[in-house]
Amino acid sequence: MKFSSSLLAILLAPGANAFAPIRHAGVIQRSEPATSTSLWDTPSGPPYSGPSSKPILDSVNYPHDMKRLDMKELKQLAHELRWELIEAVSKTGGHFSSSLGVIELTVALHYVFDMPEDDIIWDVAHQCYPHKMLTGRRHKFPTLRQLGGISGFCKRKESEYDSFGAGHSSTSISAAQGMSVAKSMLNKRRNNCIAVIGDGAITGGMAYEAMNNAGYLSSRMIVVLNDNGQVSLPTGTQTAGGVRPASQLSAYTSNLIVSKPFQDFRDFAKSLNRLFPENVQDVNKRIDEYARGLVTGGTIFEELGFFYVGPIDGHDLENMVPILEKLRDSDSSKPVLLHIKTTKGYGYPPAMAASDRMHGVGKFDIATGIQVKGKAASPSLTSIFANALIDAATDDRAVVGITAAMPGGTGMDIFGRRFPKRTFDVGIAEQHAVTFAAGMACEGLKPFCCIYSTFMQRGYDQVVHDVAIQNLPVRMILDRAGVVGNDGPTHHGCYDLAYLGCIPNLTIMSPSDELELKNMVMTCAAFNDGPTVLRYPRGVGYGVEKLQSLFGYEFENGEIPAKGTPIEIGKGRIIRRPGGVRALSEHSPTNGSKSSRMGAASRGLLKEHRVAILSLGTRLSEALIAADDAEAADKDIAVTVADARFMKPLDEDLIRELADENGIIITVEEGSIGGFGDHVLHFLALDGALDDGDLKFRPMVLPDTYFEAATQYEQYEMAGLNSHHIMENILRLVRKGVSSKKVEVPELVEIEQ
């Protein structure tokens, strides 16, 4: 439908009702269900509970089922959908409050637009649960983020209604623009592409690159800016910028909301003239001048070539639906930015009251919002890192911490409580974070740039160009290295050893346990001769008992040292000698220079029966278990287990020793092909250790595939990196007790639930 001056006159007529309930032709009238409740019936205090039945939601399996609903029923659908979400996530855990905040927006978008012909792209997509429930996947929510279940993010292969896959931020506008241009070039009948992006994700530079290009090309698209004031996770961490959201753009959009009342449909209609062809603009010039007087001044989005609409209440269906309909029906090719204000966690008081708005939760009690959490035997590695960094910062005022909108996930919230003026949250801006750290290093500070392994991929050029080439002492701390569990392939930290290992000047280390993590934080703080990388996985420490019984530590007073100590760069250590002797209790040199046959008795009399496992990272515990099991399975086998500690530089003396004294070397790592094992193999080949043909080498790495959501154990089981896989590899290589066939990696369906 085309807009005209006559349409505007109708919309602006004194008797016009911009808020009349919307109905489609052929609507089937229904009475309001007797059991229905409205959002504002939610009790103000616990216990909280939802409707006993959901008749409107039960009638909606796919978006086309919504087209028959009137406004009253749409509101009831939103209410039922909100409580369906609360009930579902309370049983599985997952990303929670982001989805609660977009219930009304999701209903409005699916009511107005026609997916899958129209495209709706959810940035990051942790707010996509209501979308999934309305697109045929409501019955699958008991499997959310589980092995063989539905993903917590949008995935194109999961549903035709997932227009674009996501997990990382700031990609939606680029994808929507690409789809819009393609639809236009292919002369498709409809061209409606909608990107939904939050005020956190829009801080990412890629979003601005896309908006700049969309305005330049006049790409027909709608960008919905979901402004909820939650930029970082969690927002409110104490940093050098205070406790406000880590984004000046967030402050800018907040000022827009404060300085302008929420637009309703009537106000929006007055400003529609800016979307019209020039001849229509001339006819309606006076109306346009009046409309621009209501929305004073331009916006940064208008300067980028967008038609700005807003701010509007993102929980008000009566306004959002007609505005979206008019934008849908416009013939204009000018990109539109629809600015909506929402509340993260809306409709569930415990979420609205929580400091993190219950962004990511485990199972919880609906009545109270209290999460069901077992008591961890040991603290998380993230908290251990944060407290070790506090120790380093206490000793050295030059130590500072940097995060890219993930203070909670990286431990910077803990660090920030102790050193707020030395904590910097740059927003979702990994590229900026790395170069920002490089600038700090130039002036003599010791920056710890703390970014998830998967997100450091976004700052790769800066690592090379701004840090490594200049050999600046930036400390890059990569949390979530290896597989991460339920977040799936977009969040695994599988590739950093491969993509960083090829860069000159980097020192790369990975701890095997919590004490080593403390030691390596201190090592990074003390090392000022170039950039360092410290990677560690998601998880918790082993605790005193396991460190002593499995690893062989001997702690004074039976306690893990409270503070770490620097270790020698590029030096590994032998942890286990043949016969089960734990080398750490022998007070042997760091590089394990004692004979690896010590304690072997009659084991390993033949070199081909002597095996060395060289581990990097926390698979060391699995390697130690595998060594014990392999020796228990065969009295001739002698297994040495070493902890490499460093990938760059390699401990060449240790590797030579292991190659000289063993017939088999197995490397184990929590990374993809091209990482630690390849570096060891490259060294052995150039060093001539493989020339005589009496040394077998096997790298054990994450297979060349993507691992979907599952527990970390299940993912390592699929990867073939648990202790029994390592043991099977040992037995196969010495040709004892098993056939010579390759170790089979189990299929998803073969793993016990």
DSSP 229-266: S--STTTT--BTTBSS-S-HHHHHHHHHHHHSPPP-HH
Q: Is the pLDDT of residue 294 over 60?
A: no
Over residues 396-402, mean pLDDT: 98
Per the CB < 8 A criterion, the answer to whether 615 and 675 are in contact is no
8 Å CB contact between 309 and 337: yes
pLDDT score for 257: 54
Phi/psi at 145 (nearest 5 deg)? Answer: 60, 30
Separation of alpha carbons 351 and 369, rounded Å: 7
Residue 286 has pLDDT above 50, yes or no: no
Burial of 213 (0-12, 13-18, 19+ CB in 10 A): middle
Count of other CB atoms within 10 angstroms of residue 743: 16
| pLDDT higher than threshold 70 for residue 308 | yes
* Residue pair 653/570 in contact by the 8 Å Cβ criterion: no
pLDDT bin (cut points 50, 70, 90) of residue 300 is confident
Q: Could you identify the residue written with the tokens 């407290």?
A: 387
Dist CA 471 CA 442 (whole Å): 10
Residue 236 confidence (pLDDT) = 62
What share of the chain has pLDDT > 70, as a percent? 81
Looking at every residue in the chain, the average pLDDT score rounds to: 85
Cα–Cα distance for residue pair 149/490, rounded to 1 Å: 16
pLDDT at residue 113 in the model: 97
145's CB contacts (< 8 A; 6+ apart) are 92, 93, 94, 151, 152, 486, 487, 488, 709
Residue 36: is its pLDDT beyond 70? no
pTM over the 0.95 mark: no
User: Which residue do the tokens 């050098």 mark?
Assistant: 240
Residue 636 has pLDDT above 80, yes or no: yes
Residues in the chain: 753
pLDDT category at 298 given cuts 50, 70, 90 is low
pLDDT band with cut points at 50, 70 and 90 for residue 273:
low
Residue of 268 and 629 predicted with greater confidence: 629
pLDDT at position 472 is 98
pLDDT band at 19 (very low <50, low <70, confident <90, very high): very low
Which pLDDT score, from 0 to 100, does residue 254 have? 58
Q: What is the dihedral of CA 493, 496, 498, 499, to 10 degrees?
A: 130
H-assigned helices in 330-411:
349-353, 381-395, 407-410
Q: What is the pLDDT of residue 591?
A: 33
If we measure between CA atoms, which residue out of 142, 139, 148 comes closest to residue 708? 148
Q: If DSSP codes are grouped into helix, strand and coil, which group holds residue 222?
A: strand
pLDDT higher than 50, residue 396: yes
Q: Which range, of 192-201, 246-255, 497-506, 544-553, averages the lowest pLDDT?
A: 246-255
Helix (H) or strand (E) segment spanning residue 100: helix 97-100
Single-letter code of the amino acid located at 611: V
CA angle (258 as vertex; 255, 263 as ends), nearest 5: 110
Count helices and strands in the chain by DSSP H and E runs: 29, 20
CB atoms within 10 A of CB 96: 29
Question: Is-contact 474 449, C-beta < 8 A?
Answer: yes
Q: What is the pLDDT of residue 270?
A: 58
pLDDT at 259: 55
Return the structure tokens found at 190. 């409809």
In the predicted model, what is the mean pLDDT of residues 516-545? 97
Type of residue numbered 495: Y
Confidence of residue 554 (pLDDT cuts 50, 70, 90): very high
Strands 193-198 and 475-479, by their bridges, are unpaired
CB neighbours (10 Å) of residue 215?
Answer: 19
The type of residue at 213 is N
How many C-beta atoms surround the C-beta of residue 685 within 10 A?
12
> How many Cα atoms are found within 13 Å in the side-chain-facing hemisphere of 188?
16
Residue 489: C-alpha distances to residues 47, 155, 360, 417 (Å): 37, 11, 17, 32
Least confident of 38-42, 211-215, 599-603: 38-42
Q: How would residue 648 be classed by pLDDT, with cut points 50, 70 and 90? A: very high
Query: In which element (H, E) is residue 103 found?
Result: helix 103-112
> Percent of the chain at pLDDT above 90?
69
Indicate the helix (H) or strand (E) that contains 79: helix 71-92
**410-430 tens-digit pLDDT:** 999 999 999 999 999 998 999
Question: In the predicted model, what is the mean pLDDT of residues 579-599?
Answer: 57
Query: Which tokens in the block code for residue 21?
Result: 């309930």
Q: pLDDT category, 741, cuts 50, 70, 90?
A: very low
What's the rounded Cα separation, in Å, for the pair 70 and 75?
9
Other C-beta atoms within 10 Å of 365: how many? 14
Q: Please give the pLDDT value at position 22.
A: 32
Checking if the pLDDT of 453 tops 50, the result is yes
Contact indicator for 643, 655 with CB cutoff of 8 Å: no
Domains, the chain, ranges and CATH?
A: 5-13+36-361 (3.40.50.970), 381-535 (3.40.50.970), 574-750 (3.40.50.920)
Instruction: Note the Cα 243 to chain centre separation in Å.
Output: 22
Phi, psi of 452 (to 5 degrees): -55, 145
Please give the pLDDT value at position 239.
74
pLDDT of residue 1: 35
Structure tokens at 195: 């990107």
Whole-angstrom Cα distance, residue 611 to residue 607? 8
Burial category of 222 from C-beta neighbours within 10 Å (exposed 0-12, middle 13-18, buried 19 and up): buried
Q: What is the pLDDT of residues 649-669, one digit of tens each?
A: 999 999 999 999 999 999 999
Residues identified as active-site: 344, 430, 458
pLDDT, tens only, 690-731: 999 999 999 999 999 999 999 999 999 999 999 999 999 999
Structure tokens at 744: 């089979």
pLDDT above 60 for 748: no
pLDDT digits (tens, 9 = 90+) for 102-118: 999 999 999 999 999 99
Torsion region of 599: left, alpha or beta (phi above 0 gives left; psi -120 to 50 gives alpha): left
How far apart are the C-alpha atoms of 15 and 24, rounded to whole Å?
A: 22
For 166, 535, 562, the CA distances from 384, given in Å and listed in that order, are 30, 13, 10
Would you state the pLDDT for residue 600? 58
pLDDT at 306 over 50: yes
| Residue 25: predicted pLDDT | 28
Range of weakest confidence among 265-279, 295-309, 627-641:
265-279
pLDDT band at 296, cuts 50/70/90? Answer: very low
Instruction: Give residue 580's identity as a one-letter amino acid code.
Output: G
> Minimum mean pLDDT among 174-183, 590-599, 611-620: which range?
590-599
**Residues 672-682 pLDDT 10s:** 999 999 999 99
Token couple for 579: 């016969």
